[in-house]
Amino acid sequence: MVQARSVNLREHILDVASGLFYKHGVRNVGIDRIIAESGIARMTLYNHFKSKDLLIEEYLRRASSRWMKWYAGKIERASENPRERILAAFSVLDGWFRSRDYRGCSVTNAMVELADDAHPAAAVKDEYHESLRRLFGGLVSDAGVDDSDELVEELIVVLRGAMISALVDGPQGVAARARRTAEHLLDAHLDGKAAAIRRASSA
Amino acid sequence: MVQARSVNLREHILDVASGLFYKHGVRNVGIDRIIAESGIARMTLYNHFKSKDLLIEEYLRRASSRWMKWYAGKIERASENPRERILAAFSVLDGWFRSRDYRGCSVTNAMVELADDAHPAAAVKDEYHESLRRLFGGLVSDAGVDDSDELVEELIVVLRGAMISALVDGPQGVAARARRTAEHLLDAHLDGKAAAIRRASSA
DNA sequence: TTGAAGTTATACCGATCGGTCTTCTACAAT
DNA sequence: ATTGTAGAAGACCGATCGGTATAACTTCAA
């Protein structure tokens, strides 16, 4: 039970820290604030996390992993049609972009804030990118696209552009725009015949 | 001449601060470092800039303005063909992305770092976005696209995605990818126009 | 030649940073 | 009942933060 309570406490600290890190940025949130808002003792934090840098790493790892699950789930539930799923990957963003506490991509933000490839958290970005590649790779290959690697990377660029645009320029229309862009990319990568048929049937 | 030297000194401080801010981020560079690397006295900096926040604002304003000039110039020199110019707006990024000191978009980075709309520098991002809109607006209307506003915003999303992707995932192929994406967007909007003409003439 | 203005160098300010250490308390397992 | 452990509370550390004050020195114009 001691151990169980420890785990919960650790989780609680990570929850509070995650909220603050995402909302205000990892560099703008100090240890003191995390301690104050989670209502724990200073040493309790350092008992569970060796340093702030490692706390940041753990925050990023959990946040990106949770986001990936949320995102994949949303896409999966959006449609059963492979092509529609790819498009849903962008229209699904709209609600997120419009949510009051939207602050962009936690991983990207942290990389910009830290500006240091040697930071322990920098490793997370590669795993994150690889997960994105896998997710879109699955969607794209389900849709029967050849040269899928290139399409995947293109879609990721659009996704990244949408996330950062929604952050700095506001969410209005961004998701829809990204979806339209993805649609054009998808059509371009489908062989001409299939694309023509699809376009004709959707008209 | 006193004034002239002052201006130069001020410019020198701004130069050094800009280099550090862009390379390491505005939050990761302290006043002490700017002073040390520019070889001036502490009070000289505060004589020319009221506070670090206002120094950041001035840095951002100058950096975004200079970047816009550079970008517009590159595009203009790339081609005289309107359509090709739009595509050049993306292929031109490749050299920048691959340059050793590429660190993404100074404005976006600062917004992420500051995470505060009340910061004096936050106003710069609106001017920056408006400049981008004007630039792409000119290119797109020269290419004879109707519904140009939407295409402009789509292209900006792609541009933003390319800049942030090149930063976090590396520059390989990003510019070419963005160019291809822009090409598809452009064709789609031109097709729409052609289709509209076809529809109008057959009615 | 005198005086105003600009620059330098340095000491200093309170606040905050990330992190350590110590003391006391509460409680669980033996 | 005793002991081991986790956490609370807070003092404390050196370093750094952005920013101010002051005094000496240079420059240059009236």
Residues of A with CB under 8 A from a CB of B: 23-25, 27-28, 103-104, 107-109, 111-113, 115, 125, 129, 150, 153-154, 156-162, 164-165, 167-169, 173-174, 177-178, 180-181, 184-185, 187-188
Which tokens hold the place of B141? 């209307």
Of A161, A167, A105, A153, the closest CA to residue B155 belongs to A161
The rounded distance, in Å, linking the Cα atoms of A159 and A152 is 10
Number of other residues whose CB lies within 10 A of the CB of residue B69: 11
Average pLDDT over residues B57-75: 98
Average pLDDT over residues A166-195: 88
- Lowest average pLDDT, out of A40-49, A188-197, B73-82, B150-159, goes to A188-197
Question: What percentage of residues in chain A have a pLDDT greater than 90?
Answer: 85
pLDDT band at B203 (very low <50, low <70, confident <90, very high): very low
Residues 6+ apart with CB under 8 A from B197: none
Mutation target among B22, B60, B112, B174 for the A interface, most CBs of A within 10 A: B112
Task: Give the chain A residue whose CA is nearest to the CA of B107.
Answer: A168
Which tokens hold the place of A25? 């940025």
Kindly tell me if the per-residue pLDDT of A3 is higher than 50. no
Tell whether the torsion through CA atoms of B50, B70, B127 and B103 is positive or negative.
Answer: negative
Let me know how long chain A is.
Answer: 203
Which among A113, A129, A169 has CB closest to B112?
A113
Q: How confident is the model at residue A146, as a pLDDT?
A: 74
State in Å, rounded, how far the first CA of chain B is from the last one.
73
Predicted TM-score (pTM) of this structure: 0.92
More confident residue, A17 or A193: A17
Average pLDDT over residues B89-103: 98
Is A168 in contact with B104 (Cβ distance < 8 A)?
no
Which among B23, B112, B154 has CB closest to A104?
B112
Q: How far is the CA of A152 from the C1' of C5 (A)?
A: 62
Chain A nearest-CA distance from B29, in A, is: 11
Tell me which protein residue sits closest to nucleotide D27, measuring alpha carbon to C1'. Answer: B2
Give per-residue pLDDT as tens, A99-126: 999 999 999 999 999 999 999 999 999 9
Average pLDDT over residues B24-36: 98
Q: How confident is the model at residue A5, as a pLDDT?
A: 52
Q: How confident is the model at residue A122, as a pLDDT?
A: 97
Average pLDDT over residues A135-148: 90
* Chain A partners within 8 Å of B158 (Cβ): 157-158, 161, 181
Kindly tell me if the per-residue pLDDT of B199 is higher than 50. no
Query: Considering chain A, what is the average pLDDT of its residues?
Result: 92
Give ∠ CA B21-B27-A61 in degrees, rounded to 5.
Answer: 115
Q: How confident is the model at residue B145, as a pLDDT?
A: 87
Average pLDDT over residues B103-119: 98
* Chain A partners within 8 Å of B28 (Cβ): 27, 115
Which among A150, A154, A164 has CB closest to B160?
A164
- Lowest average pLDDT, out of A62-66, B14-18, B25-29, B144-148, goes to B144-148
